[in-house]
Amino acid sequence: MKTAIVTGLTGQDGSYLADQLIEEGIKVYGLVRRTSRGTDLGNANHLQNNSLLEVVEGDITDLPSLIKLCNLAKADYFLHTAAQSHVGTSFSQPVYTAQCTGIGTLNCLEAIRVSGYHTRFLNCATSELFGGISSEPCNEETPFYPRSPYGVAKLFGHHITVNYRESYKMFACSSICFNHESRRRSDTFVTRKISKAVAHIKKGLQDKLFLGNLDARRDWGDARDYVRAMILMLQKSPLPKDYVIATGVAHSVRDFCDLAFKHVGLNYQQYVEIDPTFYRPAEVDVLVGDASAIKKDLGWKPECSFGQLVEDMVDWDMGLLSDQQGENIYVSTTTCY
């Protein structure tokens, strides 16, 4: 039986990775931090009793716990998604972001090296590496120019992955993921903040939604498409190679609001207000990716459109409220998954 280590098991990407790996019959060792939540696995709660999941307590900032994990799992694959991944938070907690997001990646690589197993490693990188350098679609050759402590920490993680690949001949690569969302996204991110607010406003539980820059444009895809690409990179690529994962189309925060509110028969202009406190110290106006390389080499392509993604997130949050209020569950109309 093949085995895989997944850091960030309770998060969006980690939980979807665990889902897909287990579906393929791969045993997953999911790394979680000890918290006051006890046995709560967040987005991975539905896997609590699955025999192909073994939950292991540890922390990516603690190298000995990672070495112990590598020796336990003897993993074929190591998928690293754990991080302090919120751009806004990285400005208020830059040192922690550097330690967790940057040095945490180094610790994962060093644990694999020390353990001596031929584990294929994937670092989940980000479009924030590029920052605001270009309005043109970014590919693997585009220069990096991060515009936040998060982006800088992720850049270290990307470069140290390249360094270990070249220095120790490890199968180590980075998936340079543009924005990818889902019903499992935390509401600290603008997309889930919008979908939850739409549901609450439609149900009469909220009056207004306060946001920052509505004109910021991002290349938004579905997280389930993106984790499928990550696994392809480890399973199908003969040599370790970094790939941009993106849809190639940018939409504004305003576009997201418009579609989300329209989906429940509302006009976003009546409910959305600007709050300057949500503006970032260094704003990135547009980020759009060019995923031609992974499409050509590995045959990957996104299956879920932007509109389907927005509707699925709104439907999910409407369903959660309906369930809480004892009403009929609001059924998703998306055809992606």
Catalytic residue flag (residue 81):
no
Amino acid at 319: G
Catalytic residue, from 97, 105, 119, 126: name it.
126
Identify which of 201, 202, 183, 221 has the alpha carbon closest to the alpha carbon of residue 303.
221
* Tokens found for residue 47: 């896997």
Catalytic residue, from 128, 181, 271, 334: name it.
128
Catalytic residue flag (residue 150):
yes
Identify the burial level of 93 via C-beta atoms within 10 angstroms of its C-beta, where 0-12 means exposed, 13-18 middle and 19 or more buried: middle
Catalytic residue flag (residue 16):
no
CA–CA distance, 243 with 233 (Å, rounded to integer): 8
* Tokens found for residue 195: 């979908």
Please give the torsion angle defined by the CA atoms of residues 140, 146, 151 and 155, in that order, rounded to the nearest 10 degrees.
50
Catalytic residue, from 150, 164, 243, 268: name it.
150
Catalytic site residues?
126, 128, 150
